[in-house]
C-alpha cells in the first residue's frame, strides 16, 4: 500500500512546474546540466522535483540552507540517476551541509584489536544509516568546474549507490546478474593498476585516492566518468564501458542509453 501511495505521490510531484529560478541556479552552478541533451535535462528536472520533495537538508555550523544549496546538490545527486530504473536513494534521509571543511571523529583499528581515535578534516562522507555529509564550498566548486575530475557530490552519492546492497565494496547493484562478472574483472584490474601506478608515483587520469580501497575506487572513477568522459573513454575504454552500462549514460557523446 505504501509503495502505491509513493508512486502516486511521485507522479504528482513530477508534474509540478519547475521554478524558473531553479533553472537559473542550474545554468550558473551546474554546467554538467547544460551538457545534457534536451530530453535528459527535462528528466533530471523531474527527478530533482522528487528528490527535493523527499530528502531533508540540514545546515551545520551556521550554514543557511537555501534553494541554491538544495538545487545544486540535488541536481548532481540526480545526475547519477538518469538511467531507466532507480528509487531516489531509498535509504537516504538527510543531507547535512557544512559551510566548508569540517572535522569528524575517525577510528582506526590497529594490531591486537586496539582502536585509535582521532579527528580528521573532511569535505564529505556517506553514511549507510541514511545521511550524506557535504562541505558546501567544496560541493559548489566541484559543481562549477566540470573538467577537473573533482566532484564531492558525485563522489558521495556514488557511495550511496554502492551501499544500497548493504556493503560498500565497489560493487553496486547491477541491472542483470550477467553484468557482475565483467564488472568485477574490469574494475579489479583497473583498481590494481591504479594501486601500482600510485606506488610508482606515475601520473594518472584517475585520482590516486581511488587506490585506497574498491569503494573509493568506484566513487573516484564515477567523478572522472562524468567530468572527464572523453579522456576517460580514450585511456580506460573497458572501464568506461562498464560505467556506461551501469549509469545508462554516455557522457562522452551526450547520449543516454536504456539498459
pLDDT below 70 — which residues of the chain? 1-2, 84-85, 105-119, 255-259
Burial letters 60-98, b for 16+ CB under 10 A, else e: eeebebeebbbbbbbbbbbbbbbbeeeebbeebeebbbb
CB 226 within 8 A of CB 36: no
Largest distance between two CA atoms of the chain: 59
Instruction: Determine the pLDDT at residue 108.
Output: 52
| Cα–Cα dist 259/256, whole Å | 10
- Three-class DSSP category at 256: strand
What is the pTM assigned to this prediction? 0.90
Question: Which residue from 99, 88, 95 is spatially nearest to 141, judged by alpha carbons?
Answer: 99
Instruction: Determine the pLDDT at residue 83.
Output: 77
Cell 610508482, residue?
200
Instruction: Determine the pLDDT at residue 15.
Output: 93
Q: How far is CA 159 from CA 30, 44, 106, 182, 240, in A?
A: 20, 20, 18, 20, 18
Cell 564515477, residue?
222
**Domains of the chain with bracketed CATH:** 1-168 (1.10.472.150), 171-259 (3.40.390.10)
Instruction: Determine the pLDDT at residue 13.
Output: 94
Instruction: Determine the pLDDT at residue 2.
Output: 59
DSSP labels for 44-81? HHHHHHHHHHH-EEEE-TT----HHHHHHHHHHHHHTT
DSSP state of 150: -
Instruction: Determine the pLDDT at residue 65.
Output: 98
Instruction: Determine the pLDDT at residue 4.
Output: 86
For 186-198, how does the pLDDT look when each residue is reduced to its tens digit (9 = 90+)? 999 999 999 998 9
CB 162 within 8 A of CB 172: yes
CB 216 within 8 A of CB 209: yes
| Residue 56 φ then ψ, to 5° | -100, 135
Amino acid at each position: 500500500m505504501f509503495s502505491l501511495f509513493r508512486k502516486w505521490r511521485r507522479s504528482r510531484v513530477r508534474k509540478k512546474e519547475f521554478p524558473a529560478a531553479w533553472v537559473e541556479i542550474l545554468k550558473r552552478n551546474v554546467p554538467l546540466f547544460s551538457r545534457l541533451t534536451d530530453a535528459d535535462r527535462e528528466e533530471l528536472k523531474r527527478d530533482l522535483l522528487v528528490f527535493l520533495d523527499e530528502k531533508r537538508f540540514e545546515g551545520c555550523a551556521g550554514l543557511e540552507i537555501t534553494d541554491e544549496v538544495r538545487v545544486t546538490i540535488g541536481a548532481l545527486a540526480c545526475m547519477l540517476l538518469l538511467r531507466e530504473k532507480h528509487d531516489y536513494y531509498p535509504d537516504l534521509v538527510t543531507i547535512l551541509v557544512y559551510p566548508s571543511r569540517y572535522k569528524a571523529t575517525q577510528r582506526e583499528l590497529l594490531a591486537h584489536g586496539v582502536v585509535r581515535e582521532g579527528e580528521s578534516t573532511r569535505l564529505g562522507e556517506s553514511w549507510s544509516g541514511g545521511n550524506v555529509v557535504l562541505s558546501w564550498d567544496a560541493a559548489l566548486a566541484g559543481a562549477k568546474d566540470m573538467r577537473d575530475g573533482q566532484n564531492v557530490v558525485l563522489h558521495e552519492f556514488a557511495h550511496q549507490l554502492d551501499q544500497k546492497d548493504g556493503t560498500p565494496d565497489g560493487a553496486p547493484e547491477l541491472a542483470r546478474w550477467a553484468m557482475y562478472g565483467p564488472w568485477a574483472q574490469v574494475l579489479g584490474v583497473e583498481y590494481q593498476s591504479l594501486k601500482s601506478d600510485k606506488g610508482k608515483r606515475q601520473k594518472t587520469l584517475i585520482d590516486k585516492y581511488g587506490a585506497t580501497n574498491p569503494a573509493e575506487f568506484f566513487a573516484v572513477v564515477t567523478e572522472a566518468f562524468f567530468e572527464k568522459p572523453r579522456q576517460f573513454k580514450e585511456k580506460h575504454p573497458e572501464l568506461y564501458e562498464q560505467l556506461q552500462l551501469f549509469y545508462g549514460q554516455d557522457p562522452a557523446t551526450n547520449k543516454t542509453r536504456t539498459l
